[in-house]
Amino acid sequence: MQNVVIETVKTALGWVPAQWLPGGTPDPLIERRVALGRQDSRLDGPAKVTGLARFAAEVPMERLCYGALLHSTVTRGRIARLDTAAAEAAPGVVLVMTHRNMPRIGTLALIGVSDLSAVGNSSLPILQNDEVRYNGQVVAAVLAETQEQADHAASLIEIDYAVEAAKTRFDDAKAAARTPASILIERNHVLVGNAAQEVDRAAHRVDNLYRTPGHNHNAIELHAVTVAWQGETLLVHDATQMIAPSANALAKLFGLKKQQVRVLSPYVGGGFGGKGLWDHQVVAVAAAKLVGRPVRLMLSRESVYRMIGGRSPSEQRVAIGADADGRFNAIIHTGYSVMPPYGACPEQYTMCSRALYNAKSFEIVQHHVDLDIVPNTYMRAPGEAIGTFAIECAVDELAHQMGIDPIELRRRNEPERHPLSGTAFSQRALTTAYAEGAQHFGWERRLAEPGARRDGEWRIGMGCASGSFPYARMPGAHVRLTLRRDGTVNLSCSAQEMGMGTSTVQVQHAADRLGLPVEAISFDMGDSALPAGSMAGGSSQTVSLAAAIMAATEKLTGELLRLAGNDSPLAGLRARDVQLVDAGIGDVADTARHESYRSILTRAAREEVSVIAAGSPPLEMLKFAMHSSSAVFCELRVSEVTGEIRIDRLLGSFDCGTILNPKTAASQFKGGMIMGIGLALTEETLFDARNGRIMNATLADYHIPVHLDVPEIDVIWTGIPDPRSPLGARGIGEIGITGVAAAIANAVFNATGKRIRDLPITLDKLL
């Protein structure tokens, strides 16, 4: 049904002239930038450096009590015996909450494309019965006067389980895998021509399996809430990337009106997809209600591993067939990942293969393996991060086999239009990104022969790979714009600042949009009491808010022209005749006709004008093929003695539309690339299939890259504006990680002649 609706809308939009749609006319700010494109420092920087920025677990409250959670140690079963007496008698304990005394509530509605206010990551009941569905599930919560007392009391709860058989083995569960009809807004199973036959008949072919392990979220800030019931209203200080929908979801769950729940989250210490709505917020809200006191619940690092889902493991098959000239006649990308039916994230690893290359035939399909496990969730470039590993290693393998430079092989298969839909790309300059990247990196020094470069015990290699991430703009993002008589402007909405520079860039944007200096603009966010912005996800927040600010500016212009009236030099001009410039409104045709905001508001005897507006529906996403893309380059050394890998250089060459602030953008790109190093070399959730338990639920055992693992990282970009998007920008948050694992794996091959197709590339695999 969803496939039919979306495909029908796409077909219909194909017939609608572009100029009638959002993105049909390029945003004038693409040409007229003053503050945008400047290397401004983050506005939230000083507050963070001086410790004034207050995070969710730092909000002081009177009579606060502290929470601790207890997690199931078995995978499937029932609680057969539960003894909380010792915990209840422990010093400082205020409440022990289990399924026996937890208030009865419904289940969370899962994140989905059909209901954007639904944001649950798991639809399993939360402390509602004695059933255990995965190892690590929350089975009890303790509130006490101090954190230490809560932690201690939780250790005194005794539970015996009646254990039941559980599905914990990926390979065993594959036979019963489900094949969903759609993956996000795309049809899942795509067949163009007869790809199986084309691969068989191809002059050159590769056909391999690639395996990636599960990954856990490790944001610096632990998940935390401080919650307080104030009469019939609920105040939630949360660390979340989805403020407005979380408030809605909590209201629904606890039978409140939307306005009765206020979620505050002005700062988030890293999200990456993991800071959504999980069991802990619900447990904290329920516990606070039972005791009539405010509650702080900050997850331990181990709790984050046990109850916050991460990236799904995958097994992917990529087969490519090519003719003698290297033109692809078939791309097959199929595979399995884990997605329990009570989870929300389909790990869309085949998305990249739909957009990267031309081919005569395609076969693409994903299967979901059902395990008894904490639901996997979105984790920086979900799908694309591991999907690009598979397809981009396969392309490198084919290039090697054919004796063609891998960049040249990609160039020969660069699509003119979207390879599956035939839709025009809004803007795409991946070949430019490759050319500039190759030059900057010194790609010509690469030797095609594996193992040809050495330095003592070290073998040296270079590799490259493409990254890809679809453009997204969220519908329904609102913003309030208030222009005051003194010429200052306040913008507000419930947007999220997770460290990427949300307010900084939108202040730069609003300054240019309104013809004001950045100092005149303030931006309030992080509060569900403000107009609902969009969530921070899918690398979509910047353009989503930008479209709302555009709409608010248009509304403001109309309002100001009305107030200006007939005594103004602007008399008789309509909105389309004017532009906002030099702290006022000016006639586009006659620059002498201008009136300042101050003058208009003074004459109208108004202290301020305030408008609320929502961005246009994001139809450009359906009318055009829109993707951020990148070329990633890596040079590394592999020790012949130990198998150890040292990355010497990493370069990302990005094609993501206009770069709005080089400083915040470079930081986003580099952060993503560092996560890519972890994906390639160190990160792996070790899952004990015997009991379904994560074995390395600590930062000591789950290895993320540290400073010594990370070389100098260079980032460059084409900076070519996308004529179809607000500000000419596309997402930059997630593209950074994509392609990195393949570039590293391809460099390892170039150094050693060893092709490692299962991540992470640890030294044992190279000896």
Q: How far is the CB of 499 from ligand MOS (least distance, A)?
A: 12
CB 275 to ligand MOS: min, Å: 8
DSSP letter, residue 41 = P
Closer Cβ to ligand MOS, 214 or 382, answer by number:
382
- Nearest CA to 685 among 215, 273, 307? 215
Among residues 496 and 504, whose Cβ is nearest to ligand MOS? 496
CA gap 150, 403 in Å, rounded:
63
The DSSP H or E segment spanning 544 is: helix 541-564
Least Å distance, CB 412 to ligand MOS, is 32
By the 10 Å C-beta count (0-12 exposed, 13-18 middle, 19+ buried), 31 is classed as exposed
Least distance from ligand MOS to the Cβ atom of residue 729, Å: 16
Of the CA atoms within 13 Å of residue 121, those in its CB half-sphere come to 26
Q: The dihedral of CA 233, 237, 240, 244: what is its sign?
A: positive
Strands 489-492 and 478-484: antiparallel
Least Cβ distance, residue 309 to ligand MOS (angstroms): 11
Binding site for ligand MOS (CB under 6 A): 241, 271-273, 378-380, 382, 537-538
Q: Nearest distance from residue 149's CB to ligand MOS, in Å? A: 35
Do the beta carbons of residue 455 and residue 646 sit within 8 Å?
A: no
Write out the DSSP string of 215-255.
B----SSPPEEEEEEETTEEEEEE--S-HHHHHHHHHHHTT
Instruction: Single out the residue of 450, 349, 446, 385 nearest to residue 755, CA to CA.
Output: 450
Position 632, amino acid: V
Given the complex with ligand MOS, which of 737 and 756 has the nearer CB atom?
737
CB of 443 to ligand MOS, least distance (A): 30
Q: Which of 198, 363, 397, 734 is catalytic?
A: 734
Distances (CA, A) of 514 to 474, 556, 653: 23, 10, 32
8 A C-beta contact, residue 229 and residue 64: no
Min. distance of Cβ 176 from ligand MOS in angstroms?
28
Residue 693 DSSP code: E
Q: What whole-number distance in Å separates Cα of residue 386 and Cα of residue 740?
A: 10
Rounded Cα gap, residues 320 and 353, in angstroms: 11
Cβ contact 281:234 at 8 Å: no
Site of tokens 């980032």: 715
Q: Measure the CA–CA gap between 396 and 393, rounded to whole angstroms.
A: 5
**Tokens 């993320």 belong to residue:** 704
Catalytic residue flag (residue 734): yes
Alpha carbons 27 and 722: distance in angstroms, whole number: 9
- Name beta bridge partners: 594: 586
CA distance 132 to 121: 17
Token digits of residue 517: 């200096």
CA–CA gap between residue 143 and residue 92 (Å, rounded): 9
The length of the chain is 767
Nearest distance in Å: CB 630, ligand MOS: 17
Residue 405's φ and ψ, nearest 5 degrees, are: -60, 135
Cα–Cα distance for residue pair 420/361, rounded to 1 Å = 9
- Positive or negative: CA dihedral 732, 738, 744, 746: negative
The distance of closest approach from Cβ of residue 734 to ligand MOS in the complex, given in angstroms and rounded to an integer, is 6
Q: Which residue is nearest to ligand MOS (CB)?
A: 273
Token couple for 417: 């239009």
Classified as helix, coil or strand, 178 is: strand
Work out how close the CB of 154 gets to ligand MOS at its nearest, in angstroms, rounded to a whole number: 30
How far apart, in whole angstroms, are the C-alpha atoms of residue 268 and residue 580?
34
Tokens (6 digits) for 416: 């003119």
Nearer to ligand MOS, 502 or 568 (CB): 502
Question: Which residues are known catalytic residues?
Answer: 734
